[in-house]
Amino acid sequence: MAKKEAQTDLFVYKLLEEAGINLTYQGSDIKELNEALKNASKKGTNKQGYPEYCGVVKDFVIVIENKADISKHIKRDEKNLISQNQKDIENYALNGALWYAKQIIANQTSYKKIFAIAVSGDSKRHRITPMFIDNGAFIREPLGDIETFTLFNEKSIEDYYKREVLKEESSKQKKKEEIEKIAAILHEDLRNYGALDDRNKPLVVAGILLALDEMKTKNLTLDYLNNDDIDTDGFKIYELIKSNLKRSNLAPEVKLDKVLAQFSVIKDTKKINEICEIVDKKGLKINSTPLKHYTKFIKENIFDAIDRIKNSDDYLGIFYSEFMRFSGGDGQTLGIVLTPTHITELFCDLVELKATDRVLDPCCGTGGFLITAMDYMLLQAKNERQKEEIKKNQLFGFELQYFYVCSCYG
């Protein structure tokens, strides 16, 4: 049996390593937790307790107990509760994990939230079951079996806690619903007031985002877009795009010229540069060029939000994916098939992407894989200098279709 349990320990170690979680084997190297476990022996002898793995991810304690035999996964009492009979604590994985979690809570450590996880079996046949306990003696029944520990790494554990323990929608789910509405309204306005086709809509949106970035740098307000007798709103936005790309050191010159050539649709499309009557989202009728209306809408609903929220890349990425989805079914009228985020995240997990890696996508489209890779790498970056290096010198993409690449510049 000892050999089989060693195999289970190794199996769990590999799962933790794959998920990027660092826990201590046979106890805890965190003084506070070690103190809480000093009388926590599963045998009830008041001696030191030694969970298979124990540690902290963010402000959550994770305690793992293993058993080689799946039949020793969990034991319930006559009330259908997880038994805390001493023999059951000693002989069953989830019972033992819950015991250790309760001991840590009882010792009033600074850690108030604990995931107790049972693992039984081996890599070929196994069960992995988490449950939750907090300092209010709240115990959430087993949360449903899982296959990996990725839900408990730094990137995912808070969303998992909110979704499975608190039964809330995750922040990403809420964000997606909100952004979907924004994308739908913008899509309709681009069609109704500009008669723009599906290929040009993303270019206009990306160009406006670049122009807004430049307006912020130059302290310009929306009043700058007044469609005066000299320059149209489209010409002004085009010049702001040009300035922004030059300031971003987009090179070589031939590349800059090619990108700008695609954004010329903004200054050359007559209908979006003519003043007309527009009904805004409050139902008010205003006289404006469609371009100024689009710019105001994008500024208030997308661009300003980027400054307000912590994960702006995520916000912008969700918006762009949702917007493209309205352009004919995930962008497919353009010949675009957008890779779902869960797939790009899976591939980053599979290659165990690190902050020092370089990433090449030879068919990058609108950059979905590269953006996800950047997010993973930035999360691991040690300082701002390394983050800047990742953005400037470690992400490479090629794409033959010009409208893909230009559309992702926003």
Q: Which two tokens stand for residue 251?
A: 């090179």
Mean pLDDT of 99-112: 85
Annotate the chain with three-state secondary structure. Answer: CHHHHHHHHHHHHHHHHHHCCCCEECCCCCHHHHHHCCCCCCCCCCCCCCCCEEEEECCEEEEEEEECCHHHCCCECCCCCECCCHHHHHHCHHHHHHHHHHHHHHCCCCCCEEEEEEEEECCCCEEEEEEEEECCCCEECCCCCCCCCHHHCCCCHHHHHHHHHCCCCCHHHHHHHHHHHHHHHHHHHHHHHHCCCCCHHHHHHHHHHHHHHHHHHCCCCHHHCCCCCCCCHHHHHHHHHHHHHHHCCCCCHHHHHHHHHHHCHHHHCCHHHCCEEEECCCCCEEEECHHHHHHHHHHHHHHHHHHHCCCHHHHHHHHHHHHHHHCCCCCHHHCCCCCCHHHHHHHHHHCCCCCCCCEEECCCCCCHHHHHHHHHHHHHCCCHHHHHHHHHHCEEECCCCHHHHHHCCC
Q: What angle do CA 72, 35, 99 make, to 5 degrees?
A: 25
Query: Which pLDDT score, from 0 to 100, does residue 333 have?
Result: 46
Higher pLDDT, 340 or 354: 354
Q: Which two tokens stand for residue 245?
A: 């790309």
Mean pLDDT of 113-138: 86
Give the lowest-confidence range in 6-15, 131-140, 153-162, 294-303.
131-140
- 199-227 residue pLDDT tens: 788 888 889 988 998 998 899 999 999 88
Query: Where residue 260 falls among pLDDT bands split at 50, 70, 90?
Result: confident
Query: Which pLDDT score, from 0 to 100, does residue 402 have?
Result: 55
pLDDT at position 409 over 50:
no
Q: pTM score, two decimals?
A: 0.52
Query: Which pLDDT score, from 0 to 100, does residue 317 have?
Result: 64
117 class by beta-carbon count within 10 Å (0-12 exposed, 13-18 middle, 19+ buried): buried
Higher pLDDT, 303 or 324: 303
pLDDT at position 232 over 90:
yes
pLDDT at position 4 over 70:
no
| Cα Rg of the chain (Å, integer) | 27
pLDDT at position 395 over 80:
yes
Query: Which pLDDT score, from 0 to 100, does residue 98 have?
Result: 92
Q: CA dist 53 to 119, 136, 308, Å?
A: 11, 24, 39
- 165-184 residue pLDDT tens: 887 765 555 566 777 788 88
Mean pLDDT of 385-409: 73
- 309-332 residue pLDDT tens: 444 455 666 676 667 666 554 444
Q: CA dist 183 to 157, 175, 304, 344, 370, Å?
A: 29, 12, 15, 22, 22
Dihedral sign (CA 317, 320, 324, 329): positive
Q: Which two tokens stand for residue 133?
A: 């306990």
Query: Where residue 94 falls among pLDDT bands split at 50, 70, 90?
Result: very high
Residue whose C-alpha is closest to residue 62's, from 13, 135, 123, 113: 113
Q: 53-57 and 24-25 as β-strands: parallel, antiparallel, unpaired?
A: antiparallel
- 46-69 residue pLDDT tens: 888 888 899 899 889 999 999 998
Q: How far apart are CA 264 and CA 57, in angstroms?
A: 49
Residue whose C-alpha is closest to residue 151's, from 21, 64, 317, 55: 21
- 348-379 residue pLDDT tens: 888 888 999 999 998 877 677 888 888 888 88
